[in-house]
Amino acid sequence: MSVAQAPVPLLEVIDLSRTFGSGANMVRAVDHVSFTVQPGEIVAIVGESGSGKTTLGRLLLRLLDPTSGQIRLHGRDVTTLRGHNELKGYWQKVQAVFQDPFAAFNQFYTVGHVLGKALNVLDKPPSRAERLQRTEAALREVGLDPADVMNKWPHQLSGGQVQRVMIARALIVGPELLIADESTSMCDASLRVTVLNLLLDLRKNHNMSILFITHDLGQAYYVSDRVLVMYRGQLVEQGPVEHVLLHPQHDYTKRLMSDVPLLRGREGITAEPN
Ligand SMILES: Nc1ncnc2c1ncn2[C@@H]1O[C@H](COP(=O)(O)OP(=O)(O)OP(=O)(O)O)[C@@H](O)[C@H]1O
Ligand SMILES: [Mg+2]
């Protein structure tokens, strides 16, 4: 008799923990967290400030070592990988966009240079022509005109353009998972919707999975399929977005929801900044 096997998830996080400090001052920033992300899935991680969202994102990017637990990509343990050489294959598949695009954008580099450098995680350095071709394609993908922005410095761009460049920088290597940590919090309301729609397009066009970290439940509702709720480092609730946000079970999620002004429909939602 054959037993149907569940597909291997893209990302599997198993009992992952990270503490900072020791003794009475020890902070359990991420505390025995387990979840999976399937290909093409958008998963939101929500929780109040200090709940461990960014620490979890940094662990998943392997910018920070876990205290215990495991991260698997396509079933392969990546927790033991160390250093740029071992990790660059992982970074071809897992990329990130952060909150403050100006801080992430080296002010001494032009847009073209920043995007070209991002290709350094590829196994074989691309030719000059390929670098240029991929840079232009990534810029077009995020709605920028390569001829206009390619040779500009960050201070010559608007905040929205810089955020798009940062998304292009993540895309250029063709990742399977994008970790977006509060990547719309510096945006005004209309730009925020533009960026959220851009993320939805990436999923649609490339079947990219996205881990969308936010403290804004309206945005989580707008983009995600599933929601994970973090509270003091722990995952206290997870499930399909409609269940978790419209019918929260955990007291903490109920409290979080009571702070949200009003969740409008998925179309045209512009969650108020809080
Ligand atoms: N490098 C560090 N050293 C010591 N403590 C840290 C470090 N990084 C994070 N922490 C602590 O871990 C906890 C979780 O922080 P984290 O930044 O992950 O929260 P967050 O959910 O992303 O918050 P926010 O919504 O404000 O971005 C906090 O108590 C924070 O002070
Ligand atoms: Mg954070």
Ligand 1 contacts (CB < 6 A) are: 20, 27, 29, 47, 49-55, 215
User: Domain locations in the chain?
Assistant: 11-258
pLDDT exceeds cutoff 70 at 234: yes
> Model's pTM, two decimal places?
0.90
When the pLDDT of each residue in the chain is averaged and rounded to a whole number, the result is 89
pLDDT for 3: 63
Of 43, 44, 36, the C-alpha closest to 74 is: 36
Distance 74 CA to ligand 1 centre (A): 28
Cα–Cα distance, 117 to 152 (Å, whole number): 15
Can you identify the CATH homologous superfamily of domain 11-258? P-loop containing nucleotide triphosphate hydrolases (3.40.50.300)
pLDDT tens digits for range 177-189: 999 998 777 677 7
Of 79, 95, 70, the C-alpha closest to 176 is: 95
Atom in ligand 1 nearest the alpha carbon of residue 182 = 27
Q: Tell the residue nearest (CA) to atom 6 of ligand 1.
A: 20
Residues recorded for the chain: 274
Distance 7 CA to ligand 1 centre (A): 33
pLDDT exceeds cutoff 50 at 272: no
pLDDT for 263: 52
pLDDT for 84: 87
Check residues 161 and 103 and name the one with the higher pLDDT. Answer: 161
pLDDT for 273: 38
Distance 215 CA to ligand 2 centre (A): 9
Tell me the average pLDDT across 60-81: 96
Atom in ligand 1 nearest the alpha carbon of residue 99 = 27
Cα–Cα distance, 227 to 212 (Å, whole number): 9
User: Which residues have C-beta under 5 Å from ligand 2, the single-atom ion?
Assistant: 53-54
